[in-house]
Structure 1
């Protein structure tokens, strides 16, 4: 059995009209039986948040790859990481992300706030998943023989479109971390552009009809990265764009 995955982003209709770049970024990497994934959503008010989102994702994955070379890949434990160890790992990852953004800002002579973005990261094995979230967006899992589960309630501030960014002073304190044991057949990470169609806002539960076709697509597709027409058409469809004008990112994983 192996992990299959695909990550795709689509620019929102508002950004198209304003001739702005897509401010989302996502990526994942597979090594042996472990998959690492991250997605970030650049702040709409931040001038270079598209650069910040890409740098945050790449830095987070690089940091976890260096950490995992021994502890995760070569000796992948059947039992999940202890909660405290997971929090330490993700706290260190977040610190490295902030350091990379500070370095980028200094070298380009602009404020680190110009790179503001949210960040969601996960480490998954066939037997457990550990994840962190700073800001909004969502990670949904489908454990075997259970219902779809939302790992975190999205971080929403007091006002509309207010959330925590990795560049916020309180980012480390507001970082959410969780560890879930059990076999994970499907994982979906996304930025907040898809929240209103994927998550039932009245009780913060996944909307199964949104996720089921995506999971079935992975089951039926031998190489999702090459056969990506279904995902691209979905993200760029008029029907979806009628419900959200924001940038949209999907990171999908399946252990098959």
Structure 2
């Protein structure tokens, strides 16, 4: 996780990636990664899921989030006051091209061995930018209805085809074609959760028609545990690790799991 001075941001940010049951049993490393960074004007959060079939995907996921926090923060810092959706989406795509170019340059001819997804959120004054490639997802906490907090799943990239579950990676030749971007201008957003697909069964519900929506009980608890004022404690960090490795979540999905969340600090 990128080391930052969180006094520079109105957001309290915390998360981790843990190896799934399959990898623990096989003695293999976690192939997920997450990172964040903050500047005077923006915070950038990123998660990545290395392709399980590729020999160096754990390195790929770590490199992807490292580059994402650097390049998205650099692009967003000079345009933090933008709220125009078209301009924000262009910014996100430009940053993605920066990341992909450096990623491919560093990995060279062996780039397919480092295959990974990438999901990024940029938090700025008055707007939120979201870019996703692959099967990661983002849930927002924003507003109330009848006194209950409301949670919203941001749109995900379209499937490669109607009949395919194929995941597109940063190293895929047509990666730019399948990138999805969003801009949300809502002063009511006070919580953001990013995850890889290892938590999809726990964090999301699927309707009879196939539509996905946040699992309110799970995401509410995850956000609430970060709402406590002050820095994240060691016990809170250990508690999140225990949750992600719990038998309950393992029974739903034995893959690696990543959860990166940010909540708006209480204003004085």
TM-score scaled by length of structure 1: 0.89
Equivalent position SS for 2:184 = strand
Does the CA contact (< 8 Å) of 2:42 and 2:73 recur in 1?
no
> Which segment drifts farther, 14-23 or 93-102?
93-102
For residues 238 and 92 of structure 2, what CA distance do their matches in structure 1 show? 34
Structure 2 counterpart of 1:176, from 158, 175, 180: 180
Q: Give aligned pairs, total.
A: 246
1:102 deviates by 1.8
Kindly indicate whether the alpha-carbon contact (under 8 Å) linking 2:42 and 2:77 is maintained by their aligned counterparts in 1: no
2:206 aligns with 201
Inter-partner Cα distance in structure 2 for 1:136 and 1:50 = 16
TM-score, with length taken from structure 2: 0.85
Contact 1:3-1:33 within 8 A present in 2 as well: no
CA distance in 1, matches of 2:227, 2:93: 34
Q: CA deviation at 1:156?
A: 4.4
| CA distance in 2 between partners of 1:139 and 1:128 (Å) | 15
Which residue number in structure 2 is paired with residue 44 of structure 1?
Answer: 52
- Equivalent in 237, 240, 245 of residue 246 of structure 2: 237
Query: Residues 159-210 of structure 1: CA distance to partner in whole angstroms, max 9, x if unpaired?
Result: 44x2111111221111111111112110000000001111112221111011
User: Which residue is 1:249 aligned to?
Assistant: 258
Which one of 216, 219, 222 corresponds to residue 211 of structure 1? 219
Distance 1:221 1:244 in 2: 32
Instruction: Give distance in 1, aligned partners of 2:121 and 2:191.
Output: 13
Whether 1:83 and 2:107 are equivalent positions in the alignment is no
Q: CA RMSD in A?
A: 1.9
Deviation at 1:116? 0.7
Unmatched segments (≥5 aa) in structure 1: none
Does structure 1 conserve the Cα–Cα contact (< 8 Å) formed by 2:41 and 2:77? no
Kindly report which structure 2 residues correspond to 1:109-124, keeping only aligned pairs within 5 A, or say none: 111-124=110-123
Helix, strand or coil: the match of 2:35? strand
What is the rounded CA distance, in whole Å, between the counterparts of 2:132 and 2:217 in structure 1? Answer: 24
- Using the alignment, how far apart are the partners of 2:92 and 2:12 within structure 1? 24
Corresponding residue number in structure 2 for 1:191: 196
Q: Is the 8 A contact 2:31 2:50 kept in 1?
A: yes
Partner of 1:152: 155
